Amino acid sequence: MRVAVQSAAFDLGAEVAAFTDSVIGAGAVVTFTGIVRPDGGLTAMEIEHYPGMTEKAISDIAAQAVARWALADALVIHRYGSLKPGEAIMMVATAAPHRADAFQAAEFLMDYLKSRAPFWKKEIRAQGEAWVAARDEDEAALRRW
Amino acid sequence: MRVAVQSAAFDLGAEVAAFTDSVIGAGAVVTFTGIVRPDGGLTAMEIEHYPGMTEKAISDIAAQAVARWALADALVIHRYGSLKPGEAIMMVATAAPHRADAFQAAEFLMDYLKSRAPFWKKEIRAQGEAWVAARDEDEAALRRW
Amino acid sequence: MIEVLYFAWVRERIGVPRERVETTAATVADLVAELRGREDRYAAAFADTSALRVALDQGLADFDAPLAGVREVAFFPPMTGG
Amino acid sequence: MIEVLYFAWVRERIGVPRERVETTAATVADLVAELRGREDRYAAAFADTSALRVALDQGLADFDAPLAGVREVAFFPPMTGG
């Protein structure tokens, strides 16, 4: 299980290939990649985080997922700092013997990362800046687990 | 939307990277990769398919997913022939504005590919060969859509 | 004249991947009954049609589907892709 | 003496990312009441605590949680990761 919180870009293809190659024994690998959408003239997305707590919160969430779905492995990479539209913000990968477990664990990780990992997004536009508000549906998504 | 049915191996990392780069505008990319598990001394997995119908069936399924979840794009690669444990059998990728759509579309594609695309798997072991039987739970999985 | 294809263990039991069949069968079920009567290997392959699936011109169909206008019929076990 | 951290718009309203606070507050809510009384910028940041989250020593907590033994308190809006 690897958790990385970093400002640097990551190489999505290389990460997915390395993760998948490393889990021979699993039959199913699911990945999720979050990308900055160029909505409404967005020029940048600034991501603030809580160093120390971030790594701990994500590691706790990932360990829960590994235990609950008997995952062969899990990977979380999450960036902070200033990102441009089209750049990858974060990714998760899960590996399990069967597809249902890999899918569920990846969705669980995403639901928790959205609402329980200490990151805050700010949208930068020519017209001004605005913090992204938490969505009720993201909080609601947690209740299914 | 791309559908590839091929005997050749595919470069998972390169496919995921190219797919993700090509869909700027989407905020969420989900991928699933199916891998031959080395269960119980498996030496090879032979995958037979129905040329012509396979491409048509997968294209139909992918078009349904694109329409139903308003996907930015979808990709399906499925191999046939003789594969060794650890080799990737197939992958799907989906891109959507939000994560729930990308996850659901990927799971829908997988459920349909499992039971409605004309592929048949045969497990080769030192002790002998056996066709993989369809699982009731795979048929049941279709009913949720 | 109809093209009949077999896949997976159906192909293995019948011993050929495809063949042209002269038939006036009105439905898939009628064709299956004809084939069953031919030789033991067909009877073995079609012993339990609940374990089989059929496609007409490369689209999934039911065993009571009519064969009128159909050029290609395929018989195979439930699919195991993905 | 307790280390108090602020993130996102809480940090912007208060104007500093962290500070050391001399306090005898028994709970998070008591600490918030103290801070609110300090200056307008604190009153503005803590106007509606239902819009805020709190972490004690880097773990999420409730506003009625006790502060005994806590070294680090962080205030921030609901998280928006992923």
CB contact under 8 A, C8 and B139: no
CA–CA separation, B40 vs B9, rounded Å? Answer: 24
| Residue A24: pLDDT over 80 | no
Amino acid at C51: A
**Which of B119, B124, B132, B137 to mutate: most C Cβ within 10 Å?**
B119
For residue D43, tell me if it sits in a domain. yes
* Partner residue opposite A27 with nearest CB, options B14, B24, B35: B35
User: Contact, D57 vs D71, CB < 8 A?
Assistant: yes
ipTM of the complex: 0.95
CATH number of the domain within which A66 lies:
3.90.1170.40
Best CA proximity match to B55, nearest among B78, B88, B83: B78
- To the nearest whole Å, the CA of A60 is away from the closest chain B CA by 22
For residue D38, tell me if it sits in a domain. yes
Residues of A in Cβ contact (< 8 Å) with D9: 131
Give CA angle at A91 (A43, B39), nearest 5°.
160
Amino acid at A50: Y
| Structural domain count, chain C | 1
CB contact under 8 A, A113 and D81: yes
Q: In the predicted model, what is the mean pLDDT of residues D41-57?
A: 96
Q: Helix or strand or coil: residue B1?
A: coil
Q: Put the strands of the sheet holding B128-131 in their side by side order.
A: B81-83, B42-49, B119-125, B128-131
- The chain B residues in contact with chain C (CB within 8 A) are 34, 48-50, 52-53, 56-57, 78, 89-90, 110, 113-122, 131-134, 139
Best CA proximity match to C73, nearest among C65, A111, B95, A36: C65
Q: In the predicted model, what is the mean pLDDT of residues B10-29?
A: 95
Report residue C71's pLDDT band, with 50, 70 and 90 as the boundaries. very high
CB contact under 8 A, A115 and D7: no
Note the pLDDT of residue A88: 97
Q: What pLDDT digit, counting tens, does each position of A62-101 carry?
A: 999 999 999 999 999 999 999 999 999 999 999 999 999 9
Q: What pLDDT digit, counting tens, does each position of D2-23 carry?
A: 999 999 999 999 999 999 999 9
DSSP string, chain A: -EEEEESS---HHHHHHHHHHHTBTBSEEEEEEEE---GGGEEEEEEEE-TTHHHHHHHHHHHHHHHHTT-SEEEEEEE-EEE-TT-EEEEEEEEESSHHHHHHHHHHHHHHHHHHS-EEEEEEETTEEEEPPPPHHHHHHHTT-
Q: What pLDDT digit, counting tens, does each position of B25-75 carry?
A: 899 999 999 999 988 899 999 999 999 999 999 999 999 999 999 999 999
Amino acid at A66: V
A20-24, B19-23, D43-47, D55-59: least confident range: A20-24
Q: How far is CA A67 from CA A16, A60, A72, A95, C41, in A?
A: 22, 11, 10, 12, 50
CATH number of the domain within which D70 lies:
3.10.20.30
Report residue D65's pLDDT band, with 50, 70 and 90 as the boundaries. very high
| Structural domain count, chain A | 1
Note the pLDDT of residue B131: 97
CB contact under 8 A, A17 and B12: yes
For residue C82, tell me if it sits in a domain. no
CA–CA separation, D25 vs C30, rounded Å? Answer: 86
Percentage of chain A exceeding pLDDT 70: 100
Q: Give the residue on C whose Cα is nearest the Cα of B89.
A: C82
- Is pTM beyond 0.90? Reply is yes
Q: What share of chain B is helix, strand, coil (3-state, %, to 5)?
A: 40, 35, 25
CB contact under 8 A, A20 and B110: no
For residue C27, tell me if it sits in a domain. yes
State chain A's mean pLDDT as an integer.
Answer: 96
Query: Judging by beta carbons within 10 Å of its beta carbon (0-12, 13-18, 19+), is residue D1 exposed, middle or buried?
Result: exposed
* Partner residue opposite A34 with nearest CB, options B12, B27, B103: B27
- Domain of D46? 2-76
Percentage of chain B exceeding pLDDT 90: 95
Compute the half-sphere exposure of residue B142: CA atoms within 13 Å on the CB side of its CA.
Answer: 12
β-pair type (A2-6, B28-35): unpaired
Query: Which residue in the block uniquely carries the two structure tokens 């444990």?
Result: B85
Which residues is B82 bridged to in the sheet?
B46
Q: Which residues have a Cβ under 8 Å from the Cβ of D28 and sit 6 or more positions away?
A: D54, D56, D61, D62, D63, D64, D65, D67, D73
Which residues is B47 bridged to in the sheet?
B81, B121
Residues of B in Cβ contact (< 8 Å) with A88: 20
- To the nearest whole Å, the CA of B48 is away from the closest chain C CA by 7
Report residue D80's pLDDT band, with 50, 70 and 90 as the boundaries. very high
Structure-model confidence comparison of residues A40 and C27, the more confident one: C27
CA–CA separation, A72 vs A2, rounded Å? Answer: 12
Q: Give the residue on A whose Cα is nearest the Cα of D61.
A: A116
- The answer to whether A110 contacts chain B (CB < 8 Å) is yes
* Partner residue opposite D80 with nearest CB, options A53, A57, A121: A121
Tell which C residues from 21 to 60 touch B, by Cβ distance under 8 Å. 55, 58-60
* Partner residue opposite B24 with nearest CB, options A32, A86, A97: A86
CA–CA separation, A121 vs D76, rounded Å? Answer: 12
CB contact under 8 A, A29 and B36: no
Residues of A in Cβ contact (< 8 Å) with B25: 37-38
For residue D33, tell me if it sits in a domain. yes
- Domain of B39? 2-143
Q: Put the strands of the sheet holding A88-96 in their side by side order.
A: A2-6, A73-79, A88-96, A28-35, B28-35, B88-96, B73-79, B2-6
| Residue A38: pLDDT over 90 | no
Q: Show the 3-state SS of C28-67.
A: HHHHHHHHHCCCHHHHHHCCCHHHCEEEECCEEECCCCEC
Give the chains touching C; criterion: ≥3 Cβ pairs < 8 Å: B
Q: What pLDDT digit, counting tens, does each position of B79-136 carry?
A: 999 999 999 999 999 999 999 999 999 999 999 999 999 999 999 999 999 999 999 9
For residue C81, tell me if it sits in a domain. no
Best CA proximity match to C76, nearest among B77, A80, A138, B134: B134
CB contact under 8 A, A118 and D78: no
| Residue B24: pLDDT over 80 | no
